[in-house]
Each structure stands twice: as structure tokens, then as C-alpha cells.
Amino acid sequence: MLKTYICDDNNSHRTHFEKQIENYNFINGTDFHVVMSTANPHEVVEQIKKVPEIALYFIDIDLQTDIDGLELARQIREYDSWGFIIFITTHDEVMPLTFKNKVSALDFIEKESALLGEPVIADCLATVWKKMGQFTPGINETLTLKVQDKHFSIKLSDIYRIESTGEHRKVTVIEQNGYLHISALLKEVYDSLTEDFVYTGRNCIINKNHVVSYDSKNRLLHFDNNTTCSVSTRTARSFRL
């Protein structure tokens, strides 16, 4: 079962959503349980304060009250950091990047398409149900680096390798589908890492968990995202995997 909240100031929209969810449950055998359908965002916050658990939220952006949908989402995130937030918007209001970054919104439903009968609600429900199945809270250890006395965190399991760039005291953190530049000293970074991480040379640290094979002839490590990394002669001995 997944608790589902709907917050929209328009009565007929809410009914439409409730009906769509009910239909979806009936057809697909899922269990989205609408526990609250309201026009008042504060009611939602009051409710989840009592029992914080992972839930699904459909939130209208323009709630015609003292707070808007984005602020409601922000308050929800204080109690439910892994829940699924889906915004109901009109085309002109959509700010997908902003909402995704600020409150990790999962998706957006455009009122126009929802009311014009496109299967957008069903699509969202399908995605959420699939994600529910895969969800494992697990340990999320992070590497926390300081920038201007503030913190910047990177999930350890996301890191493939870390290299120093040689200039301006910056390091490059390489992840599965991207990389980032951040100012830090490699040695200091190494000290705050777990033992899954090892040096492969003076300027490079790798995450052993992502290594698939070691080519000892060319001293090359192969990672699971098809990248490679060379190993210095000095450290090569420890890589007879």
C-alpha cells in the first residue's frame, strides 16, 4: 500500500484525480490508498507530521492560499525525504528544473493534458509503483566536502574515481554518467573516505566496488561504466585481483 495525498483547490480536479486513481487500482491491481484529498495544504503537513512514512503526493502549484505548492512540497520534505511528489500545473507554471532540484519532484502533470483525457495520471502512477518496488532505503554514506564553510555531499556509491587536476587545488569526481569539479585536496578527500577507496597513483583514487576487471599487462582498471584508469607501477602490486 502507498498512502496518497491530493492537494488541489479545485473540487472537480480533486474528484477527477480520485476517480483516476481508483480506476488505475482496479485495472492494475495496485494499492494507492488516497488518505487525504483536500484544498488545505496545512492539513497535509499536520497529517504527515503525525506518522512520517513514504507516501505519494499530488500537489497543485497554485493553491490560492497562504502557501503555494512549492512551499508545501518543501515542508513535506522535512518529514518525508523519500516520498514521491508530483505537481499538478498549468503549462505556463511549469519550472521542471527548479522543482526537481528544490524538492526532488518526481514528475509534473499538466492540467490541460490531464483534463483533456491523456493518460498522464496513469503514467505517473505506473512510474511510482515501479519505483516503489525498487526502493531500498539502505545506507547512504556520503563524502562531504567543505565549500565556503558550507557542505557539499556526494553519495559514496556514486563515485567511480577521484582525481586531482594538478592546478588550483581542485579535484574531479567521476561518477557513472558525469563528473564534477570541486575545490579540495586529494589527500584530505582520501582521509574521509571508506576502505573501498584506494590510490592507484599519486593523483587518483578509485572506488573498488565499481571495478570489473584488471588488465595487469597494461596496468589498466576497467570500470562498470566502460571507463578505464591506469595504475602506477608502485601501486600495481596490490591490484592482482
Partner 1 sequence: MIITILMTLSSILSIYAGAVNLRTQKLGWKCCITLFIWLTAAYLTVGSLGQISIVICLAGVQIILYLFTKNLLTCTFAFLGYLVMVALNYLCTSMLGLFHIDMELISTTYAPHFSTFFWILTYVVTFLLGILTRKLLSKYPVSLSRKTSILLYLDVLACSLIFITNVVFGERLGYPKAVLIVNAVLFLTFIAITSFVLIITIRSIQREEAAKATISQLQEFQLYTDKIYQTMRSFKHNYVNILSALDGYIEQNDMQALKTYFDENIVANFNNISPDLTLLGSLGNMKIREIKGLLSTKIVKAMGKNIQFYIEISEPIESISMKPIDITQVLGIFIDNAIEETERTEEKLLHIAFINMNDFLRIQISNSCLAESYDMDKLQKDGFSTKGENHGLGLSSANSILSHYNDIVHSTRCQNHIFTQTLDIYTKQ
Residue count, binding to partner 1 (CB under 8 A): 39
Asked whether position 185 contacts partner 1 by CB under 8 A, the answer is: no
Asked whether position 96 contacts partner 1 by CB under 8 A, the answer is: yes
Distance of CA 173 to the CA centre of its chain: 18
Query: SS3 of 48, please?
Result: helix
Select the residue interacting with partner 1 from 19, 33, 49, 91 (CB under 8 A). 91
Compare residues 32 and 160 and give the one whose CB is closer to partner 1. Answer: 160
Asked whether position 1 contacts partner 1 by CB under 8 A, the answer is: no
Asked whether position 70 contacts partner 1 by CB under 8 A, the answer is: yes
Cβ 19 vs Cβ 121: under 8 Å: no
Cβ 181 vs Cβ 170: under 8 Å: yes
Cβ 135 vs Cβ 128: under 8 Å: no
Select the residue interacting with partner 1 from 67, 94, 132, 198 (CB under 8 A). 94
Select the residue interacting with partner 1 from 112, 123, 141, 224 (CB under 8 A). 112
Cβ 75 vs Cβ 69: under 8 Å: no
Distance of alpha carbon 179 from alpha carbon 217, whole angstroms: 28
212-231: which residues touch partner 1 (CB under 8 A)?
Answer: 225-228
Smallest separation, CB 173 to partner 1 (Å) = 8
Q: Which residues does residue 151 pair with via DSSP β-bridges, in sequence order?
A: 146
List CB contacts of 123: < 8 A, sequence separation 6 or more.
none
Asked whether position 40 contacts partner 1 by CB under 8 A, the answer is: no
Asked whether position 181 contacts partner 1 by CB under 8 A, the answer is: yes
Compare residues 32 and 223 and give the one whose CB is closer to partner 1. Answer: 223
Compare residues 16 and 36 and give the one whose CB is closer to partner 1. Answer: 16
Locate 189 and state its grid cell.
Answer: 578527500
121-180: which residues touch partner 1 (CB under 8 A)?
Answer: 147-152, 160, 165, 167-170, 172, 174-180
Select the residue interacting with partner 1 from 101, 140, 144, 192 (CB under 8 A). 101
Compare residues 21 and 145 and give the one whose CB is closer to partner 1. Answer: 145
List CB contacts of 86: < 8 A, sequence separation 6 or more.
56, 57, 58, 59, 105, 106, 107, 108, 109, 124, 128
Distance of alpha carbon 125 from alpha carbon 45, whole angstroms: 22
Q: Which residues does residue 175 pair with via DSSP β-bridges, in sequence order?
A: 159
Compare residues 68 and 196 and give the one whose CB is closer to partner 1. Answer: 68
Strand duo 32-38 + 55-60: pairing: unpaired
Residues that bind partner 1 (CB under 8 A): 70, 91-92, 94-98, 101-102, 112, 116, 147-152, 160, 165, 167-170, 172, 174-183, 225-228
